[in-house]
Amino acid sequence: MPATLLPDTITSIGLLAGCLSFVSAVSGQLTRAAVMIGVSIACDIADGFVARSAHSASQFGVEYDSLSDVVAFGAAPAILAYAWALAPLQLWASLVVGAFVICAALRLARFNIQTETPGGRKHFVGLPVPGAAAMIAGGFLGGSYFRFDSPRALSAAITALMLTLAALMVSRVPYPSIKEIDPASLKSRSAIALTVIAIGLFVALPQLTALLAATGYLLSGPLWLAFGKDIKRAR
């Protein structure tokens, strides 16, 4: 069996989940659409983890992963946002959704170039597209948790969020690279404890935890940009 078969299969599952997400959004099943984006994010993390663990990373895998991400983290969350909050804006909604998808594609193209640059993957330059997708899915789940129900305010808030995410994706703001986590480091007791706590929170309060996790990662880039030099000096 080719060494790249397993990570590429995981990528395919993530792509399928992305397709199921926008089909669910079009059908009005928005919670399922948000959950499928979460499945795609899990697959995106897992395929890279498996490829590094098995030393089976390939250029084909990088390109296939990016094509999958355009669907799962570009089109799927954009359609979710449209069905959830932007549809009343009509033409303006199309422009907002289009800006998000275009910036996601530009972000992925830049990432592919950076993977060929020495040291280009120590951190992400710009908000990763899975992070942007997580913010939209987490925002929907959090909104349903708090039972937020004000259509006009919701449309305005999601418009601002979508444009902010689009700008961050093509920005130079640094973000932590989850893909660079050493698999061996996950065997430590602290890593295992944090994993157990995270799983427990997702089981107990999945909607709220998804919102807080997505918001935390979204803010990590600007915070790193603001305080990164001081952190390095302290170290």
pLDDT digits (tens, 9 = 90+) for 60-100: 878 899 899 999 999 999 999 999 999 999 899 999 999 99
- CA dist 81 to 19, 42, 162, 197, 214, Å? 15, 20, 8, 30, 15
pLDDT by residue (tens digit) across 194-221? 666 767 766 667 788 888 889 999 999 9
C-alpha to C-alpha distance for 52 and 45, rounded to whole angstroms: 11
C-alpha to C-alpha distance for 5 and 58, rounded to whole angstroms: 11
Three-state SS for the chain is: CCCCHHHHHHHHHHHHHHHHHHHHHHCCCHHHHHHHHHHHHHHHHHHHHHHHHCCCCCHHHHHHHHHHHHHHHHHHHHHHHHHHHHHHHCHHHHHHHHHHHHHHHHHHHHHHHHCCCCCCCCEEECCCHHHHHHHHHHHHHHHHHHCCCCHHHHHHHHHHHHHHHHHHHCCCCEEECHHHCCHHHHHCHHHHHHHHHHHHHHHHCHHHHHHHHHHHHHHHHHHHHHHHHHHHHHC
C-alpha to C-alpha distance for 143 and 2, rounded to whole angstroms: 44
With pLDDT > 90 as the criterion, what percentage of the chain qualifies?
51
Q: Which CATH architecture has domain 5-221?
A: Up-down Bundle (1.20)
Are 13 and 71 in contact by the 8 Å Cβ rule? The answer is no
* pLDDT for the residue numbered 84: 93
Are 214 and 135 in contact by the 8 Å Cβ rule? The answer is yes
pLDDT by residue (tens digit) across 110-148? 888 875 544 445 678 899 999 999 999 999 998 877 776
